[in-house]
Amino acid sequence: MYDQFSTDYDRFVNWPSRLAAELPFIEQVLQRVEARSVLDAACGTGKHAIALAKRGYEAVGTDLSAGMIDHARANAAAEGEDVRFEVAGFGELRSRVGNGFDALLCLGNSLPHALTPAELSAALDDFRACLRPGGLLLIQNRNFDAVLARRERWMGPQAHRQGNEERLFLRYYDYETDGTLTFNLVTLRRQGAGEWSQHVASTRLWPLRQDELTAAVATAGFSTITCYGGLSGAPFEPDRSPNLVVTARRED
């Protein structure tokens, strides 16, 4: 799915707006551990890592999608930033990019792609192995406590227009009998007033609730676990926060 979507991802996200909203809080928590080196796991097209590099951090990005990494490298080159990007999924980060990082970010609802408790445990163990003792872990997921309570299916549409070309992005969930969700992404595209073409891509997610995620983080050897309702630093409210953001510190 993400190899296919990598070409459109930077059209889907309004990066100036998103980075302006998220970076102040991210830098605030990085400063708590005096972080200089940051690993962005599941980095997509690399925009967070590149923005942190511009602010003087030693940033490295990884993603399972080779297409996303190709675009991340192109984005870094276009912005004149020397950021290392590598193709690597959860569970293989330590072997691909090393350890000793001051902080590890896993943003954009990426961790729910670990579909079982064993996969989640392996991902968190890998995150811990990449960090120095006392290093910071920051995870941003959707608030699935609220999603599941309301059986939400549809997310807000996104639109992008460039010249004569227009795109619409529609996202919705299917609820599976095993408790997972199928995340569907519909891309509509047209030139001028022409006919719309459409493409549908799907992937599976484990909708992690707050108690499930924080328990798994603690079991993986992290402490000082704090929950927020988004990358604004707002308090987490299970019934209404749009996101679940978890920060934690690697125990020695």
Same domain, 59 and 126: yes
**3-class DSSP state of 24:** helix
Tokens of 92: 């293989």
Q: Where are the alpha helices (DSSP H) in the chain?
A: 2-12, 15-32, 47-54, 66-78, 93-97, 117-130, 144-150, 210-219
Same domain, 7 and 63: yes
Q: Model's pTM, two decimal places?
A: 0.96
Residue 153: which domain range? 146-205
Same domain, 93 and 47: yes
> What is the model's pLDDT at position 252?
85
Q: Which of 148, 134, 64 is nearest to 106 (CA)?
A: 64
Burial of 220 (0-12, 13-18, 19+ CB in 10 A): buried
Same domain, 163 and 213: no
Same domain, 111 and 53: yes
Q: What are the residues facing 191 on neighbouring strands?
A: 165
Q: Checking DSSP bridges between strand 37-41 and strand 101-106, what pairing results, if any?
A: parallel
Same domain, 91 and 45: yes
What phi and psi, each to the nearest 5 degrees, are found at residue 4?
-65, -40
CATH of the domain at 150: 2.20.25.110
Under 8 Å between Cβ of 134 and 224 = no
CATH of the domain at 25: 3.40.50.150
Q: How many domains does the chain have?
A: 2
> What is the model's pLDDT at position 77?
97
CA distance 99 to 131: 6
Same domain, 69 and 117: yes
Q: How far is CA 51 from the centre of its chain?
A: 15
Per-residue pLDDT of the chain (252 residues; tens, 9 = 90+): 888 888 899 999 999 999 999 999 999 999 999 999 999 999 999 999 999 999 999 999 999 999 999 999 999 999 999 999 999 999 999 999 999 999 999 999 999 999 999 999 999 999 999 999 999 999 999 999 999 999 999 999 999 999 999 999 999 999 999 999 999 999 999 999 999 999 999 999 999 999 999 999 999 999 999 999 999 999 999 999 999 999 999 998
Rounded to the nearest 5 degrees, what angle is found at the Cα of 84, between the Cα atoms of 245 and 142?
20
Same domain, 22 and 113: yes
Among 205, 224, 241, residue at a domain's last position: 205
Same domain, 214 and 90: yes
> What is the model's pLDDT at position 4?
83
Same domain, 242 and 155: no
Q: In which element (H, E) is residue 248 found?
A: strand 243-250
Same domain, 26 and 106: yes
Q: Which of 120, 220, 137, 236 is nearest to 244 (CA)?
A: 236
Same domain, 73 and 198: no
Rounded to the nearest 5 degrees, what angle is found at the Cα of 52, between the Cα atoms of 46 and 57?
125
